Amino acid sequence: MAFETPTSPTAPQDTTAEAPGARDTPTRRLFDRITDEISKLYVGQDELVLGALVALFSSGHVLIESVPGLGKTLFVRTLGRVLGCSFGRIQFTADLMPSDITGAPLFDMKTQEFRFRPGPVFTQLLLADEINRAPAKSHAALLEIMQEYRVTIDGTSHHIDKPFLVLATQNPIESEGTYNLPEAQLDRFMFKLIADYPDTEEEADILRLHSQQIDINQRLEEEVQTVTSPEEILQVTRENGNVRVDDKLIDYINQLVRLTRKWPQFYMGASPRAGIAMMQSARTLAAFSGRDYAVPDDVVQLALPTLRHRVALTAEAEVEGHNTDQLLTELIRSVEVPRI
């Protein structure tokens, strides 16, 4: 399972090969068990599965661009079952208020006092469906929680339990009645992932899965096993911070991020937060691969999902029909991959 890799023509190594030093570590075994359980009910979408897991174990969040009907809700529910985490879903609409997300104080007639009623954001895996259909004030409420891991109501802070992963979706086709997320808010997401239609074989597998006269929710309860816990996820996340990142690799990340600000077809490049996200997620990807050090291929795999939502095309580039992913692929290929 891997991201699509825009390999550099100057790369000194085969980036598809397993790096030396990969071992059968507890983290690698945990990753394999998680993906094996997810695949029992959720077919394909390897980049989505890998991206969500890397973000979760890196304390990040994910923006998913996807048309309806690709099983995102099933994926998050399955993920929650496998991880032993609570799951919640918010359908974003034009009339969604911040209090519909965060919760609000309610007056208790018995005690004659206000008490806080938690909103649906108080969960560990949150699917924010069609986030671009809600107004800016609702976006701001969620994105503040993503950054601070807490809700402040009437001067009182209510903390969100960790791990906490937001998977926000937006439809790339329908634009009527939507509100674009500002660049500053997009920057809060570690990755932007593209969920595309399954290929022929995968779609046939999906049909076979649903051809059996067994409710999918029943199958989720009976066939999918919980293989970890929130406590273990937090422990592994802390341990991933010990994965070594060579200075040459830091310079490589820095070069990629800074080059986005000079690329002629981008009027806005990536912020330093992009480099931090790339480094943190490279550590996690290395740990999933059984290594205690990151390699250039980790960064190459993660560069596109980390950068694609953090750059903006110039008007001329849009008129000329340029594609953000194509331009970023050219940019990544133009930078020499370091030898480590």
Is the model's pLDDT at 149 over the cut of 60?
A: yes
Boundary residue ending a domain (221, 240, 259): 240
Are both 73 and 210 inside the same structural domain?
yes
197 within some domain: yes
The tokens describing 166, both together, are: 């937001």
Are both 279 and 223 inside the same structural domain?
no
Q: Which residues pair with 195 in a beta bridge?
A: 66
| Predicted pLDDT of residue 16 | 38
6 within some domain: no
Is the model's pLDDT at 18 over the cut of 70?
A: no
222 vs 286: CA distance, rounded Å: 32
**Which residues are within 8 A (CB) of 228 and not within 5 positions of it... i.e. 6 or more apart?**
30, 33, 34, 82, 83, 84
- 3-state SS assignment for residue 14: coil
Q: How far is the CA of 61 from the CAs of 29, 47, 64, in angstroms? A: 23, 14, 10
Higher pLDDT, 285 or 12: 285
117 within some domain: yes
CATH number for 306: 1.10.8.80
**Count of domains forming the chain:** 2
Are both 266 and 245 inside the same structural domain?
yes
Residues 271-284: tens digit of each pLDDT? 999 999 999 999 99
- Among residues 132, 106, 109, 110, the alpha carbon closest in space to that of 119 is found at 106
Q: How far is the CA of 141 from the CAs of 60, 152, 159, 273, in angstroms? A: 17, 10, 14, 20
The tokens describing 210, both together, are: 């649903």
Boundary residue ending a domain (193, 211, 240): 240
Is the model's pLDDT at 21 over the cut of 70?
A: no
5 within some domain: no
14 within some domain: no
- Among residues 233, 181, 205, 189, the alpha carbon closest in space to that of 71 is found at 205
Are both 324 and 225 inside the same structural domain?
no
| Predicted pLDDT of residue 13 | 41
Residues 70-105: tens digit of each pLDDT? 889 999 999 999 999 999 999 999 999 999 999 888
Task: Please indicate, yes or no, whether the overall pTM of this predicted structure exceeds 0.95.
Answer: no
7 within some domain: no
Are both 258 and 314 inside the same structural domain?
yes
Are both 175 and 268 inside the same structural domain?
no
Question: Long-range pairs for 315-319 at CB < 8 Å and ≥24 separation?
Answer: 315/267, 316/265, 317/265, 317/266
- Among residues 248, 283, 255, the alpha carbon closest in space to that of 269 is found at 255
Are both 303 and 326 inside the same structural domain?
yes
Boundary residue ending a domain (204, 219, 240): 240
Are both 275 and 231 inside the same structural domain?
no
11 within some domain: no
* Structural domain boundaries enclosing 252: 241-340
13 within some domain: no
